[in-house]
Structure 1
Amino acid sequence: MFSEILRATGMYSDMDVRLFERVVSVREVRRNEVLLQKGEVCRSLALILEGAVFQYKDNLEKERDIIDLHLPNEWVFNYTSLLGQKPSETFIEAFADSRIIELSLETVHYLTGKSLAFLQLNRVLEGAVSRLQFFDQAMTPLEKYQFILKTRPQLVQVFPLKMIASYLKITPETLSRVREKMARGEDIS
């Protein structure tokens, strides 16, 4: 298991894999358990082995603005807080009972001190940047929904449509209209 996790980020020796196995921790997380509180500094990365996790901000109406949705084999962390070591503006919470691998910054520094191969873990950070760029693009609601259906179809199987709509930065009503028109095969402008 650990070798596949590491090899998704680069090339590692068998000794690197054994070192990784010795220092990482697997953690059980219950549904609704908060992994990162707003105002707390993010000090670790987590890889979801099983379950689902989401990242959100509370808005003025005391609702959740979904920042990101995470499924198995995806890394979870607050990019801005982790890199800047400043208080998080978002929460990270388990949507379902989950199993995660937790990798603290101290552990990452220890690993890179033992083997420069672990610098390849930076690819995990690059993945977060590409997700952030998704919302920098001027996409219609249809294009946004089609994009997640193409790149991350499991999201619509795991998370409620209200959360999907918030993640796409559209209203639930707009998402319903998009889905209805897609189901009828209509051209959506």
Structure 2
Amino acid sequence: MESLIEYFAKLGFSEDALTEFLSCIKTRKFAANESILVHGQMENFLSFVDTGVVRYYVIANDKEITFDFAFKDSFYCAYDSFYNRTKTEVYIQALTECQLYSISHENLQRLYEKCETAKKLGRIATEYLLDKKVKRELDLLTKTPQERYEKLLFEQPKYIRQIPLKYLASYIGIVPETLSRIRKRIS
């Protein structure tokens, strides 16, 4: 759980302040290509990616459309389902072997009632997810597919090579052949 402790330490939390929160964390492991959450289920966990790459997608017109990834040292969750306690419309998949540190909705709500640190930690995770969503929407509206790819390549160079071309292309909003041409141009 060292990566989670380090993440919060950078934000000014001591390990002692995290003790109660960490006692509620469950380690979950998934094999490459294993489903973590499927359409129609309810998201019960707010998770931190310790290792691996996670993909979010929907199915529309019988096609998978990738709309987000979560990488090492980041939070992920189908947050609309998690916070509203509704069934999700998304699929979440481990693209690579993944280890996640997760807190259940029930435990998080219980901690919110009695622990000020938990409220701060929950707020940080929520703000992270909201900030990521807004940046993604702005990128889709203001950047070209090549710029979106270059940004992803700059931010996550180690992991890009682990993501199949068809998922990267879908995420950027283009077909795989166009992404191949972009890759050729910038290499």
Instruction: With the length of structure 1 as denominator, give the TM-score of the two structures.
Output: 0.85
1:10-89 equivalent positions in 2, closer than 5 A: 10-61=11-62, 63-89=63-89
Shift of 1:90: 0.4
How many Å separate the matches in 2 of 1:49 and 1:173? 32
Q: Is the 8 A contact 1:50 1:99 kept in 2?
A: yes
Specify the alignment match of 2:142 in structure 1. Answer: 138
Q: Aligned with 1:39: secondary structure?
A: coil
Q: Aligned with 1:135: secondary structure?
A: helix
Give a deviation string over 1:7-57, Cα, whole Å, max 9, x none. Answer: 35x433443222223221112222232221101121211111122221111
Q: Aligned with 2:160: secondary structure?
A: helix
Q: Aligned with 1:20: secondary structure?
A: helix
Q: Which has the higher helix share?
A: 2
Q: What stretches of structure 1 move > 3 A for 4+ residues in a row?
A: none
How many Å separate the matches in 2 of 1:165 and 1:82? 28
How many Å separate the matches in 2 of 1:113 and 1:95? 35
Shift of 1:78: 0.9
Q: Aligned with 2:40: secondary structure?
A: coil
CA-atom RMSD in angstroms: 1.9
Shift of 1:130: 2.4
Q: Is the 8 A contact 2:49 2:76 kept in 1?
A: yes
Q: Is the 8 A contact 1:69 1:155 kept in 2?
A: no
Q: Percent identity?
A: 24
1:144-183 equivalent positions in 2, closer than 5 A: 144-183=148-187
Q: 1:4 to 1:148 in 2, by over 3 A?
A: same
Shift of 1:171: 1.4
1:90-109 equivalent positions in 2, closer than 5 A: 90-109=90-109
How many Å separate the matches in 1 of 2:94 and 2:173? 21
How many Å separate the matches in 1 of 2:177 and 2:137? 20
Instruction: With the length of structure 2 as denominator, give the TM-score of the two structures.
Output: 0.86
Ranges in structure 2 where 5+ consecutive residues have no aligned partner: none
How many Å separate the matches in 2 of 1:76 and 1:177? 31
Give a deviation string over 1:62-95, Cα, whole Å, max 9, x none. Answer: x321121122212121122222222211011111
